Amino acid sequence: MTRSRSTVALGALFALACAQFAAGAPGSAAPAEKPADGTAEKPDGGRFQPFKAEATQSSGVVTVGGQAIAYQAVAGTLIVHPKDWDDVPRDPKSDKDGPAASGDGAESRNPTAEASMFYVAYLKTNGGDRPLTFLFNGGPGSSTMWLHMGAFGPRRVVTATDLHTPAAPYVLVNNGSSLLDASDLVFIDAPGAGFSRIAGRDKEKAFFGVDADAYAFAEFIAQFLTKYGRWNSPKFLFGESYGTPRAAVLVNALQSERLIDFNGVILLSQILNFDLSPDRPTGNPGVDTPYQTVLPTYAATAWYHHKLPAEHKDLESLLAEVEEFAMGEYGLALAAGSELAGARRDAIAAKLHQYTGLPVDYILKADLRIDGGEFRQNLQGDAGMATGRLDSRFSGPLIDPLSQRVDYDPQSAAISSAYVTAFNDYARKELHYGENKAFKPSIPVFRSWNFQHQLPGQPAGSLSSRQGSNVMPDLANALKINPNLRIQLNAGYFDLATPFFQGVYEMRHLPMPASLQSHIEYRFYDSGHMVYAKDSSLALLHDNVAAFIRRTSAPAK
């Protein structure tokens, strides 16, 4: 399969149309209903008080491509419930989930779980049924401040390209790469993260998992379409990092279960099959593909830091060479296992040295298999420097020079303060949201996250495990049931969290007819996981995504 690459300069992985707004004049903050913050408050003797939806309104203008775009912004919450929740009022003496009848005293019981999901919607003034894109970061457990303040919102925080951004004051600027020129935008925080909150019985179990999370987002999207009258708008999902498996499960659920077809899905820094992650694949012996699909990123990183022993005329030709080696000679060598002969083993180690810059003896000691943390520890270890995970262009001092793996991410350390500070300030001063509320950039859910997943087309109860959590069938099913759906994969060459070639490998192996492969397009950038952290890559990302939205929003003929 031939593909083209564009070569220009969070979680975080990873990640928001209306005819009517909440009460309040345009350009001013509307009086907000005060919902519970954290968990539901109990101001009246301990009885449960459910969350309440709220919204504040403001307005602004963003200039994109020399065009001034006036917009309204809504910052608020919608209330969602788990899958088995019944919205029909129930007998107060029953244990059935659902809202209690007014005045029956049942509110004092431990209620079913619910989530108050925070969003910021930017809606072009008098835009009508223009395209509508729902955006989210990943983690899981991350808020969506990264895509909001770094990529596509009307205001963007300025950070250093590959160095540690100095401390406050940080600078917010007009975002000339905002997607508002092509689509209305809805940035969504996952349950429990950002300004979103969860409460009620078994609330973590109700929302922290592959399927539970996707159901909550589906509920949110259906509510948003109704609340703002946007059912007939062209619809898109944009997910980054863990937001990509969320998007795969979500688009399939929306189309197959709710009969809401989408025009397109935009994926940034993709991971659909967790067996392919370069993070500690040693825990899954016998599965060598992660070492193959990460190798081109090792080569790009070593090239960037001038660690390769030979000269290469350009990154493009180097990557093509490494991809061929990774899926050919290297793959066969790994498949041979203990049967790999000594001379051939030495030859493979020598080739890996040429493509990674790591010493031959270290490669042999690692049995030709080097995971992401080990590579980051050793590439610049002789200089006492660690290499970034989310963006391997970044470097920082090694915490422990004797460690097997790097135990922090220099890129995350370099820019996170700028994003957290900028969003907290912007939300309160410009969106008029967040008074007396704590903003949670991320919440620690990964270790308790339920990675079991009900695969499409499989009997109920046929759940995948975390070790094999793989939502490739979901994306394939979404393409099969909606033959007009289009997918755009965006990836950075310097991403060691979700390597770009891993995403290509996943797409090439989707279980669907080969004819549907033409519905997937690829865009690559010489940046990292957050490709928008580099100005020129952000500009190209905008152009690619905007063109994709315009091209796939045309009405049927």
Q: Which two tokens stand for residue 313?
A: 């005329």
Burial of 486 (0-12, 13-18, 19+ CB in 10 A): buried
pLDDT-derived band at 517 (thresholds 50, 70, 90) equals: very high
What would the pLDDT profile of 404-421 be if each residue is shown by its tens digit? 999 888 889 889 999 999
What is the pLDDT averaged over residues 229-258? 97
Give residue limits of the domains in the chain.
Answer: 54-275+423-552, 279-412
pLDDT-derived band at 84 (thresholds 50, 70, 90) equals: confident
Query: For residue 452, what pLDDT is reported?
Result: 83
3-class DSSP assignment, residue 214? helix
Query: For residue 196, what pLDDT is reported?
Result: 97
Q: Which two tokens stand for residue 117?
A: 């999901």
Percentage of residues of the chain with pLDDT beyond 70: 84
What is the pLDDT averaged over residues 53-65? 97
Beta strands in 232-279 (DSSP E): 235-240, 264-268
Query: For residue 48, what pLDDT is reported?
Result: 52
d(CA 220, CA 19): 18
Query: For residue 46, what pLDDT is reported?
Result: 46
The fold of the 54-275+423-552 domain, in CATH, is: Rossmann fold (3.40.50)
What would the pLDDT profile of 369-411 be if each residue is shown by its tens digit? 999 999 999 999 999 999 999 999 999 999 999 899 998 888 8
Contact 272, 505 (CB under 8 A): no
Query: For residue 464, what pLDDT is reported?
Result: 58
What is the pLDDT averaged over residues 465-480? 84
Query: Among 169, 73, 150, 35, which residue's Cα sits nearest to residue 432?
Result: 73
Angle, CA 483 vertex, CA 481 and CA 488 arms, to 5°: 110
Q: Report helix, strand and coil shares of the chain as percent, to nearest 5.
A: 35, 20, 45
Half-sphere exposure of 555 (CA within 13 A, CB side): 5
pLDDT-derived band at 52 (thresholds 50, 70, 90) equals: very high
What is the pLDDT averaged over residues 174-194? 97
* pLDDT at 489 exceeding the cut of 60: yes
* pLDDT at 459 exceeding the cut of 70: no
Parallel, antiparallel, or unpaired: how do β-strands 486-492 and 520-525 relate? parallel
d(CA 36, CA 116): 9
Beta strands in 365-511 (DSSP E): 385-387, 395-397, 453-454, 463-464, 486-492
* pLDDT at 557 exceeding the cut of 80: no
Query: For residue 222, what pLDDT is reported?
Result: 98
What would the pLDDT profile of 114-152 be if each residue is shown by its tens digit? 999 999 999 999 988 999 999 999 999 999 999 999 999
Instruction: Spell out the alpha helix ranges (H) of 257-310.
Output: 289-304
What is the pLDDT averaged over residues 508-520? 97
Mean pLDDT score across all residues of the chain:
87
